[in-house]
Structure 1
Amino acid sequence: MANAKGTVVVGLVKVLRGNRERAAALLPAKLAHYLDERIVVASWYPLDDYLALLRTVGKLLASGNPNVYEEMGRSAAREHMSGTYSRLKKATSRQASFTLLASMYDSGELKVLEREPGHALLEFARFASPARELCETFTGYQAERMAMMGFEDVKVRHTRCRAEGAANCFWDVSWKGRELL
């Protein structure tokens, strides 16, 4: 069974607890314990639980916003880059940046397939539970993380999605201001 690290679960749970009444009505009964249990950022939680929490927070925050998951990803990146993963905000090592997903999920592998100044093609392969919401969250997360690292005019486009039948997920990333990712 695949898992998500507490570092990605805790932010969702904070939003749910801040909207406890609405969250309790939307949350599947088997996940109600997240409204009261302490989330340990160093622990692993079932990926299926994480995806259900993500979708519930998406419903809470959506209000007709078609980009709610991308915005959630941007918010998570700001929180992580000023806290848990702050060392990566200054890291110029591509390897450090791309091991980030492995520290959040125990499934899948992120690869850089193409790289040239101002452009990269990313592939996320072998993820246990493909979900469009997670991909949209990653899109926003990657864009915000790169902006916080000093890249300018960052554009991250999710071009192929495993949740929609592709073999793997792919992102086309472009930027200005620094040569390589």
Structure 2
Amino acid sequence: MKTHETKTKTSIPAGRCKGTLLVNLRSFVTTTRDAGAWERLVTSLPKSDRDVLSQPLLASSWYPIGVWNRALRTHARTASDQTAELKRFARYVADRDLNTVLKFALSIAMPDTIVARTGMFWSRYFDSGKVFPRMVKPREWVLTITGPTGDDEGPSAMNCGEGVCGWVEQALLLCGASTPKVTHQRCRFRGATECLSEVVW
């Protein structure tokens, strides 16, 4: 007698982002646009997202990653050059966060140290996905990013692409690198099994 095994699909848990991202996005939107820009952004989102963003946002708390992905995407769509806008925001986040939380560490950090710890920095912002830095040769590294691609499961393509590129470039500038360049060469949102970015300075 044949027995049939029923395979159940394992669901991927919803991801979360640290509140500092949402707090920085709100600050960036209101300072680069106008006082009502943040309210307009929030109003355009689904009700479940509006409910989250209408509450007091705490930098140290964790929030649903889907809220972050949709809020960032909505803001980017208001810019004439979305890629440039996302990188500009990523640099803003790095500048604000590193100059407050890690100001002393930056004062003694070398560029290699910053890149080597990108996995740790990623986990300060997201609880899903991982970054694996690897040194190729002096002043040249490769960052590999793995993680789920669902909008409510992990950081979106904007984060692994323009987000990581802009954030790492600004972090390297802050610790003394003169001409850092981060290039997103392969993306798991476009058919690759993992994201890969090249870091040189």
- Check whether TM > 0.5: yes
The TM-score, its normalising length taken from structure 2, stands at 0.76
Q: Could you say if the C-alpha distance between residues 110 and 24 of structure 1 is closer, same or farther in structure 2, counting changes exceeding 3 Å? A: closer
Aligned pair partner of 1:9 in 7, 11, 22: 22
Aligned pair partner of 2:49 in 11, 25, 31: 31
Written as runs of structure 1 = structure 2, the 5 A alignment for 1:157-168 is: 157-168=183-194
Deviations 1:41-78 (A, max 9, x none): 11111111110111122123x13454211111111111
Query: Quick one: distance in 1 between partners of 2:169 and 2:102?
Result: 15
Query: Quick one: distance in 2 between partners of 1:150 and 1:137?
Result: 20
1:55 aligns with 2:69: no
Aligned pair partner of 1:103 in 101, 105, 124: 124
Name the amino acid aligned to 2:122.
Answer: L
Q: Could you say if the C-alpha distance between residues 69 and 20 of structure 1 is closer, same or farther in structure 2, counting changes exceeding 3 Å? A: closer
Q: What secondary structure sits across from 1:99 in the alignment?
A: helix
Q: What secondary structure sits across from 1:67 in the alignment?
A: helix
Query: Quick one: distance in 2 between partners of 1:39 and 1:21?
Result: 14
More off after superposition, 26-35 vs 46-55: 26-35
More off after superposition, 162-171 vs 11-20: 11-20
Aligned pair partner of 1:139 in 165, 173, 178: 165
Aligned pair partner of 2:98 in 81, 89, 92: 81
Query: Quick one: distance in 1 between partners of 2:45 and 2:23?
Result: 16
Identical residues among aligned pairs (%): 25
Name the amino acid aligned to 1:131.
Answer: S
CA RMSD of aligned residues (A): 2.2
Name the amino acid aligned to 2:175.
Answer: M
2:90/2:163 contact within 8 Å kept? yes
Name the amino acid aligned to 2:132.
Answer: K
Task: Answer 1 or 2: which has greater strand percent.
Answer: 1
1:113 aligns with 2:134: yes
Report the structure number with the largest CA radius of gyration: 2
Q: Could you say if the C-alpha distance between residues 68 and 57 of structure 1 is closer, same or farther in structure 2, counting changes exceeding 3 Å? A: same
The TM-score, its normalising length taken from structure 1, stands at 0.84
1:129 aligns with 2:158: no
Query: Quick one: distance in 2 between partners of 1:110 and 1:122?
Result: 7
Deviations 1:89-125 (A, max 9, x none): 2334455454111111111221123331120111012
